[in-house]
Chains A and B, each alone.
Chain A
């Protein structure tokens, strides 16, 4: 039986329309990033180049039937085969370019699933739209959803897990329970971080669904969900998914078969590094598995509040746009709910969590960042007054604990994004609950200004979607215009380059497209080791420039080799800086990063302020280029 509609619930047509508009907006906003090549499967936005690993593995899988990429420890178990399929079907270069747009679609699905999750939990659209907007604008989702890291698939899988979890709680039919188990399986397989948290979620889904009357309040009392044993279906589906993939990997990727359950193996060096960081008594060389147990039992509990405070301050509240205002808004909504909730019983079970919240809020580390106790307080209030949030909190508890413990070692924003996602969903639930309560109360005043305010509130979600869409259209149009202007510049550049010349580029370009437009060889991303040498459509990832010209001792030698038959031009998209420079780094094992000047030799007829540059001389002052930032975000 479907949930009964009230005056505040949206019609199915309206829900579909809103979700469609959110999807279109997200596609347009993500497209703008790809048009400008802020992020692409070959450009991570910084220059780490780590995605080259998965790209190479996918190409090997597609063209050489090499299963080396199907190693769980490299965290591309889902990403690599998916990319491999596209490379196989379309060929390497078109496959990579199409894959960039596939990632746009995958990434744009996530705000829709976030909205769907909130809508499923509340039956209304207001909070759902807010959450969708916040997820769309999440900078980490945007970057790592598009930049060729396998985390794009993990984001999708996590989002799908939340949606299927909400759907299973709303109406635990067999298909929904199976979908939940499979989504959790996909999450576990997509990234090593999630193996055990996803399994914990699958295990806990049984009691969470069985006792959902303690946290689920939206009109499904007539859906008891059948016998309790049936609610173990997600766990069963999860195990089947994991085991099927496990034995499939065993069968086709013998190099992964160093044990019977390769999908459960993780990098023990991570554990070794973590334990030797947390526990000064343990050293890297002498670490044993028992040290992990001892550290978890006797060291971690004392440090946990400060670890969690760092995780929240650095990676949750520190990543939200307008985080202090969001916390204020969420707090105001919760205070409104609390002051109007009436004599609602607070269960002893719900109160059990409060000492934990208090312990965390009063930890000394929380004084360094007021958003930490603020978030913990608002989550505690949500736990009490918005029961749907309890199911979500319990579901993300394992991954939160794991990431907090690993924070000193390698927890990165892309890992903790799942927690941020859950916090945003709770934000949506809270705002929605407050708005629904306000509307329910104020409709008693009639006719008058409160009705008009209530009507405005009801129209607010539609208004927000329209604003989002307008913003997305303007962004993508501007980006498309930028792309056309750059293409025009490159075509002109191709006309002034002579045979034997080379074009050196920055990382934020599509090297194959650039090569097609100029008709000369391209040395891609010279600022991060010249990651590709492109002479036409490549049959696979590569080759690196060093494979063509060999090794060299100095940058001068490198440039001399390149310019043996012509000049070295340089291209970076967008308007040139006041003092145009290029950094040569990681080109040789012993070469240090050096600034080189760029000399203008001609001017683009369509824009006389835009020169064409050739590489000049090394700068002979004290300036040295900054180091490439750490992949863990620690400066």
Chain B
């Protein structure tokens, strides 16, 4: 039997690599998500506003950790020099000032220009009604007007110098939340029992169980002491860490991503998959008397298993993937399409990714088999 440090070196190094990669992905993750479904589109302008004047609007946020607001303004009545302005933002909740800040506009164009104001996240913002007041603190070179809509997209109406406008006229305003690392973890933690610690424990436990499963599936040439278990459990945790951090980037622009069924499935589902798949393979191989064969399999055989597994996952995900965008319709069928039996939880990319990887795996398998003059299978000759 090889010494423990030798036989655990490879899984340990792979685990460290995966953890570093996961850290890189997690560290670079920024969630910039809308905090409301309302998406008013500029139709008219309100103003002009000179220094000391203000405009405002009520709005509702649907997510927690509201931390940024964007309004759209444009220059008017310019005197030829660049229009430079400073805007004071005040955010009220139930009449109380909850946040205050300032944004500068170095050169305001006459076309619609977004002005963004970020502030410390409001953790309890889900379902809250706020009122934004924007005061033109300083302006030179002209005045400014604010973009508005007539679609009655927000509660109340636009306020110009404190005077309400027409009922259906609203300021073009979009609330967002902007979260990084800890903020993302907190937001996810708030959405599950046990909070952020619960999530970490779940992912850690799933990874450790999966890692031990991989160890059980490993070629049977020794090593089942505590150090082996620890290293393989670490490898499993590393895999889960990376697998769970990838959806963080994929869902970075989805509103309330932590509650999105696709996100939940991709993160927790991925963790559960890592935990369960090796043990399922172990049990299946043992039940069919093929455990030794599986442990002794060559790279071609393992590649074959990878192809089978990714194909199965890709096709299983297909069933829970939402319908694609259709541009052609079967006019004689109600709804334009026959019933396809989809359970619309995920977007197309999950299933597509697995299927594409499986396609590559199959081609590698078949090319390998061509080299050996036989087709891919874990079965020994003449089994069937």
Q: Please, what's the 1-or-0 string for A326-369, where 1 marks a CB less than 8 Å from any CB in chain B?
A: 01100110010011111111101001001101100110001111
Contact A338-B330, Cβ < 8 Å, known A321-B338, A369-B324: no
> Are A367 and B352 closer than 8 Å at their CB atoms?
yes
Stretch at the interface among A54-62, A98-106, A310-318: A310-318
Contact A328-B338, Cβ < 8 Å, known A343-B375, A343-B379: no
Q: Please, what's the 1-or-0 string for A38-69, where 1 marks a CB less than 8 Å from any CB in chain B?
A: 11000011100000000000000000000000
A289 contacts chain B at the CB level, 8 A cutoff: no
Q: Please, what's the 1-or-0 string for B297-318, where 1 marks a CB less than 8 Å from any CB in chain A?
A: 0000000100010011011111
> Are A328 and B331 closer than 8 Å at their CB atoms?
no
Stretch at the interface among A377-385, A462-470, A556-564: A377-385
* Cβ contacts under 8 Å, A319 to chain B: 330, 337-338
* Cβ contacts under 8 Å, A318 to chain B: 324, 326, 328, 337, 340
> Are B318 and A374 closer than 8 Å at their CB atoms?
yes
- Docked Cα-Cα span, A328 to B358, in Å, equals 14
Contact A339-B308, Cβ < 8 Å, known A314-B327, A332-B315, A633-B331: yes
Size of interface on B: residues with Cβ below 8 Å to A? 54
- Docked Cα-Cα span, A147 to B325, in Å, equals 28
Contact A46-B332, Cβ < 8 Å, known A358-B360, A361-B355: yes
> Are B370 and A346 closer than 8 Å at their CB atoms?
yes
A136 contacts chain B at the CB level, 8 A cutoff: no
- Docked Cα-Cα span, A629 to B304, in Å, equals 48
B349 contacts chain A at the CB level, 8 A cutoff: yes
A504 contacts chain B at the CB level, 8 A cutoff: no
Contact A342-B363, Cβ < 8 Å, known A139-B330, A335-B312, A635-B327: no
A86 contacts chain B at the CB level, 8 A cutoff: no
A180 contacts chain B at the CB level, 8 A cutoff: no
User: Which residue on chain A has the smallest CB distance to residue B384?
Assistant: A342
User: Which residue on chain A has the smallest CB distance to residue B321?
Assistant: A370
User: Which residue on chain A has the smallest CB distance to residue B316?
Assistant: A328
> Are A345 and B375 closer than 8 Å at their CB atoms?
yes
> Are B378 and A339 closer than 8 Å at their CB atoms?
yes
Contact A322-B360, Cβ < 8 Å, known A366-B352, A370-B351, A633-B330: no
- Docked Cα-Cα span, A208 to B316, in Å, equals 35
> Are A322 and B340 closer than 8 Å at their CB atoms?
yes
B96 contacts chain A at the CB level, 8 A cutoff: no
- Docked Cα-Cα span, A180 to B249, in Å, equals 56
> Are B366 and A351 closer than 8 Å at their CB atoms?
yes
B348 contacts chain A at the CB level, 8 A cutoff: yes
B341 contacts chain A at the CB level, 8 A cutoff: yes
- Docked Cα-Cα span, A351 to B365, in Å, equals 11
Size of interface on A: residues with Cβ below 8 Å to B? 64
A568 contacts chain B at the CB level, 8 A cutoff: no
A413 contacts chain B at the CB level, 8 A cutoff: yes
* Cβ contacts under 8 Å, A322 to chain B: 339-341
* Cβ contacts under 8 Å, B337 to chain A: 318-319
B333 contacts chain A at the CB level, 8 A cutoff: yes
* Cβ contacts under 8 Å, A344 to chain B: 374-375, 377
User: Which residue on chain B has the smallest CB distance to residue A371?
Assistant: B318
- Looking at the assembled complex, report how far the CB atom of B137 sits from the nearest CB atom of chain A, in whole angstroms: 46
B262 contacts chain A at the CB level, 8 A cutoff: no
Q: Please, what's the 1-or-0 string for B333-370, where 1 marks a CB less than 8 Å from any CB in chain A?
A: 10001111110000011111001101110110011011
- Looking at the assembled complex, report how far the CB atom of A40 sits from the nearest CB atom of chain B, in whole angstroms: 12
- Interface residue from A327, A367, A374 paired with B349 (Cβ < 8 Å): A367
A209 contacts chain B at the CB level, 8 A cutoff: no
* Cβ contacts under 8 Å, A341 to chain B: 375, 377, 379, 384
* Cβ contacts under 8 Å, A320 to chain B: 338, 340
> Are B370 and A340 closer than 8 Å at their CB atoms?
no
User: Which residue on chain B has the smallest CB distance to residue A314?
Assistant: B328
Q: Please, what's the 1-or-0 string for A109-151, where 1 marks a CB less than 8 Å from any CB in chain B?
A: 0000000000000000000000000000001100100010000
- Docked Cα-Cα span, A634 to B360, in Å, equals 34
> Are B352 and A342 closer than 8 Å at their CB atoms?
no
> Are A345 and B374 closer than 8 Å at their CB atoms?
yes
> Are B355 and A342 closer than 8 Å at their CB atoms?
no
- Looking at the assembled complex, report how far the CB atom of A585 sits from the nearest CB atom of chain B, in whole angstroms: 15
> Are B359 and A358 closer than 8 Å at their CB atoms?
yes
A632 contacts chain B at the CB level, 8 A cutoff: yes
> Are A377 and B311 closer than 8 Å at their CB atoms?
yes
- Looking at the assembled complex, report how far the CB atom of A350 sits from the nearest CB atom of chain B, in whole angstroms: 9
- Docked Cα-Cα span, A315 to B360, in Å, equals 26
User: Which residue on chain B has the smallest CB distance to residue A140?
Assistant: B330
* Cβ contacts under 8 Å, A367 to chain B: 348-349, 352
- Docked Cα-Cα span, A634 to B362, in Å, equals 36
B373 contacts chain A at the CB level, 8 A cutoff: yes
- Docked Cα-Cα span, A633 to B349, in Å, equals 26
A324 contacts chain B at the CB level, 8 A cutoff: yes
- Interface residue from B328, B341, B376 paired with A633 (Cβ < 8 Å): B328
Q: Please, what's the 1-or-0 string for A201-242, where 1 marks a CB less than 8 Å from any CB in chain B?
A: 000000000000000000000000000000000000000000
- Interface residue from A44, A380, A437 paired with B359 (Cβ < 8 Å): A380
* Cβ contacts under 8 Å, B319 to chain A: 324-325, 328
B381 contacts chain A at the CB level, 8 A cutoff: yes
B79 contacts chain A at the CB level, 8 A cutoff: no
> Are B352 and A358 closer than 8 Å at their CB atoms?
no
> Are A374 and B314 closer than 8 Å at their CB atoms?
yes
* Cβ contacts under 8 Å, B352 to chain A: 366-367, 370, 373
- Docked Cα-Cα span, A368 to B325, in Å, equals 8
A323 contacts chain B at the CB level, 8 A cutoff: yes
User: In B278-314, which residues have CB < 8 Å from any A CB?
Assistant: 304, 308, 311-312, 314
B80 contacts chain A at the CB level, 8 A cutoff: no
Contact A343-B377, Cβ < 8 Å, known A314-B326, A322-B339, A354-B363: yes
Most chain A CB inside 10 Å of its own CB: which residue of B315, B337, B382: B315
> Are A441 and B384 closer than 8 Å at their CB atoms?
yes
* Cβ contacts under 8 Å, A345 to chain B: 373-375
- Looking at the assembled complex, report how far the CB atom of B90 sits from the nearest CB atom of chain A, in whole angstroms: 42
- Looking at the assembled complex, report how far the CB atom of A8 sits from the nearest CB atom of chain B, in whole angstroms: 15
* Cβ contacts under 8 Å, B324 to chain A: 313, 318, 368-371
- Docked Cα-Cα span, A635 to B330, in Å, equals 9
B383 contacts chain A at the CB level, 8 A cutoff: yes
* Cβ contacts under 8 Å, B348 to chain A: 367-370
- Interface residue from A370, A376, A413 paired with B318 (Cβ < 8 Å): A370
* Cβ contacts under 8 Å, B329 to chain A: 629, 633-635
- Looking at the assembled complex, report how far the CB atom of A148 sits from the nearest CB atom of chain B, in whole angstroms: 13
* Cβ contacts under 8 Å, A371 to chain B: 318, 324
> Are B359 and A632 closer than 8 Å at their CB atoms?
no
- Docked Cα-Cα span, A108 to B383, in Å, equals 43
- Docked Cα-Cα span, A367 to B350, in Å, equals 9
- Looking at the assembled complex, report how far the CB atom of A144 sits from the nearest CB atom of chain B, in whole angstroms: 9
Q: Please, what's the 1-or-0 string for B100-120, where 1 marks a CB less than 8 Å from any CB in chain A?
A: 000000000000000000000
- Looking at the assembled complex, report how far the CB atom of A265 sits from the nearest CB atom of chain B, in whole angstroms: 28
* Cβ contacts under 8 Å, B317 to chain A: 370
> Are A139 and B338 closer than 8 Å at their CB atoms?
yes
* Cβ contacts under 8 Å, B339 to chain A: 321-322
* Cβ contacts under 8 Å, B314 to chain A: 370, 373-374, 377
User: Which residue on chain B has the smallest CB distance to residue A346?
Assistant: B375
Most chain A CB inside 10 Å of its own CB: which residue of B321, B328, B352: B328
- Interface residue from B330, B332, B359, B381 paired with A343 (Cβ < 8 Å): B381
- Looking at the assembled complex, report how far the CB atom of A301 sits from the nearest CB atom of chain B, in whole angstroms: 20
> Are A342 and B327 closer than 8 Å at their CB atoms?
no
**A interface with B by C-beta (< 8 Å):** 38-39, 44-46, 139-140, 143, 147, 313-315, 318-325, 327-328, 331-332, 335, 338-346, 348, 351, 354-355, 357-358, 361-362, 366-371, 373-374, 376-377, 380-381, 384, 413, 437, 440-441, 629, 632-635
A-B pairs with beta carbons under 8 Å apart, 11 shown: A46-B332, A143-B332, A319-B338, A324-B319, A328-B319, A339-B308, A340-B377, A354-B366, A368-B325, A370-B318, A633-B329
Q: What are the 3 tightest A-B residue pairs by CB atom distance, in nearest-first order? A: A369-B324, A45-B332, A370-B351
Beyond A139-B338, A341-B375, A344-B377: 7 further Cβ-contacts under 8 Å? Answer: A45-B332, A147-B332, A314-B326, A323-B340, A342-B379, A369-B325, A373-B352
